[in-house]
């Protein structure tokens, strides 16, 4: 009995030793694996740190390069703004100069127009006094001069102009004038004698002289050979006869 007990006791102790040995082996294996894992993790961390460090270096280089480019662009932009400001100033100066030249040209044009009007007025006064000096019948109140006609730019109209001169340079002349014509009807060749051209009676009021201008409507289907101007003044009618070649 004691032998069996001892034997069992030995087996128990042996079994317990095996368990301890296994536990120690597993423990050592775990420690070894942990160490290996730690080395791997540390290496990975170091590699990642190196990669991040290199990336930071590259990023810093790019940032530095971009800062240089941005600084250069800011300098160019400042220069462009200065050039633009200078060009704007020059443009404003040229604009003002052009406006001044236009205003000066308009002033010169108005001045020339005024001078032309003055010259025309003086010529009319000269013609008036020439008429007074050479007039054979100073008893007539007025005289008709420089009667002119031409086709108007508007179809169916005649442009006219004439000069009325007064024998008295002190009184104001008042009157009216109308137009008449001789001709024939186109369809029938029927003659027309001293027919009134339908228009409103035109009034006159002047001193010394007046230049009269306007237009009259051509009668439809009629051909005019002679155009008469009648000026009524102080109860007397003054006539002027203008002959056409053919209309």
pLDDT band at 36 (very low <50, low <70, confident <90, very high): confident
- Alpha-carbon span 209 to 127, nearest angstrom: 9
Give the pLDDT score at 83.
76
For the stretch 46-58, pLDDT in tens is 777 777 777 888 8
Give the pLDDT score at 128.
59
Query: 127 versus 135: which is more confidently predicted?
Result: 127
Please say if the pLDDT value at position 247 is more than 50.
Answer: no
To which CATH superfamily is domain 139-243 assigned? Macroglobulin (MG2) domain (2.60.40.1930)
Query: 90 versus 176: which is more confidently predicted?
Result: 176
Query: 163 versus 80: which is more confidently predicted?
Result: 163
Please say if the pLDDT value at position 34 is more than 60.
Answer: yes
For the stretch 231-244, pLDDT in tens is 998 889 999 999 88
Query: 51 versus 159: which is more confidently predicted?
Result: 159
Domain extent listing, the chain: 1-134, 139-243
Q: What's the pTM?
A: 0.46
Give the pLDDT score at 239.
92
DSSP codes joined into one string, the chain: -HHHHHHHHHHHHHHHHHHHHHHHHHHHHHHHHHHHHHHHHHHHHHHHHHHHHHHHHHHHHHHHHHHHHHHHHHHHHHHHHHHHHHHHHHHHHHHHHHHHHHHHHHHHHHHHHHHHHHHHHHHHHHHHHHHHHH-S-TTSSEEEEEEEEEE-SSTTEEEEEEEEEES-SSSPEEEEEEEEEEEEETTT--EEEEEEPP-PPEEEEEBSEEEEEEEEEPPTTEEEEEEEEEEEETTEEEEEEEE-S--
Query: Residues 83-99: what's their mean pLDDT?
Result: 75
């Amino acid at each position: 009995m004691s032998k069996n007990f001892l034997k069992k006791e030995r087996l128990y102790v042996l079994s317990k030793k095996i368990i301890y040995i296994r536990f120690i082996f597993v423990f050592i294996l775990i420690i070894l694996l942990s160490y290996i894992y730690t080395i791997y993790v540390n290496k990975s961390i170091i590699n990642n740190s190196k990669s991040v460090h290199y990336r930071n270096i590259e990023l810093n280089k790019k940032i530095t390069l971009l800062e240089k480019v941005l600084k250069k662009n800011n300098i160019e932009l400042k220069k462009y703004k200065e050039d633009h400001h200078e060009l704007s100033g020059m443009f404003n100066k040229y604009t003002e100069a052009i406006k001044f030249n236009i205003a000066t040209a308009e002033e010169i044009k108005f001045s020339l127009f005024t001078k032309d009007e003055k010259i025309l007025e003086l010529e009319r006064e000269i013609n008036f006094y020439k008429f007074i000096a050479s007039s054979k019948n100073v008893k007539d109140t007025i005289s008709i001069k420089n009667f002119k006609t031409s086709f108007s730019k508007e179809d169916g109209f005649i442009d006219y102009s004439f000069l009325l001169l007064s024998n008295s340079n002190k009184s104001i002349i008042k009157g009216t004038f109308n137009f008449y014509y001789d001709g024939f009807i186109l369809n029938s060749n029927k003659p027309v004698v001293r027919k009134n051209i339908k228009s409103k009676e035109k009034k006159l009021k002047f001193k010394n002289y007046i230049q009269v201008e306007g237009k009259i409507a051509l009668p439809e289907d009629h051909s005019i050979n002679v155009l008469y101007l009648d000026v009524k003044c102080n109860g007397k009618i003054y006539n002027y006869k203008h002959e056409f070649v053919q209309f």
